[in-house]
């Protein structure tokens, strides 16, 4: 969508080889977030959109590949939604994925799983199990 592409411009981040799911997933997740935060769509419609993304995500065999297909991007959206929830819960609503994204934008380089793990750990105070490579199909040889 146009909003997805606008999010790419606003975020100004790019991906390292085989890590396209990170930037595509963030652009899509935040395009949905922006619609909800602006009141353009209701919380219920936002949740329905996430549910559709989760359904589509089931068709993705893996995450780490050069180009993120629709199903791979949907899987990344679901992961980022879960990660946002984990951060909000662990911080008692004092932090969110927004804090992670600010750190990623400041890194100014092709992003990879290690960068994402670093930013999440700085926000959460620990690593997230969601980002353990054993939970990221196709990414097991990419990061520690």
Q: Is residue 142 in some structural domain?
A: no
**8 Å CB contact between 31 and 4:** yes
Nearest CA to 1 among 30, 22, 21, 41? 30
Q: Is residue 40 in some structural domain?
A: yes
Q: Is residue 140 in some structural domain?
A: no
Q: Is residue 141 in some structural domain?
A: no
Q: Which of 48-52, 75-79, 109-113 has the lowest mean pLDDT?
A: 109-113
Q: How many domains does the chain have?
A: 1
Q: Is residue 9 in some structural domain?
A: yes
Nearest CA to 11 among 51, 57, 118, 3? 3
For 17, the domain range is: 2-135
CA dihedral 38, 13, 130, 40 (to 10 degrees): 10
The C-alpha atoms of residue 65 and residue 90 are separated, in whole angstroms, by: 30
pLDDT digits (tens, 9 = 90+) for 17-36: 999 999 999 999 999 999 99
Q: Is residue 144 in some structural domain?
A: no
pLDDT digits (tens, 9 = 90+) for 95-142: 999 999 999 999 988 999 999 999 999 999 999 999 988 888 888 644
Q: Is residue 57 in some structural domain?
A: yes
Q: Is residue 13 in some structural domain?
A: yes
Helix ranges (H only) for the chain are 2-11, 20-37, 43-57, 70-90, 97-107, 113-124
């Amino acid at each position: 969508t146009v909003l997805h592409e606008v999010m790419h411009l606003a975020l100004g981040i790019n991906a390292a080889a085989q890590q396209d799911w990170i930037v595509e997933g963030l652009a899509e997740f935040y395009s949905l977030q922006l619609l909800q935060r602006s009141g353009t769509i209701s919380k219920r419609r936002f949740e329905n959109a996430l549910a559709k993304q989760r359904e589509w995500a089931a068709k993705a065999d893996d995450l780490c590949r050069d180009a993120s297909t629709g199903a791979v991007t949907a899987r990344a959206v679901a992961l980022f939604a879960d990660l946002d929830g984990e951060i909000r819960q662990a911080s008692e609503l004092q932090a969110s994925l927004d804090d992670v994204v600010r750190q990623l934008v400041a890194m100014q380089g092709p992003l990879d799983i290690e960068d994402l793990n670093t930013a999440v750990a700085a926000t959460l105070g620990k690593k997230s199990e969601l980002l353990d490579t054993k939970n990221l199909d196709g990414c097991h040889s990419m990061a520690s």
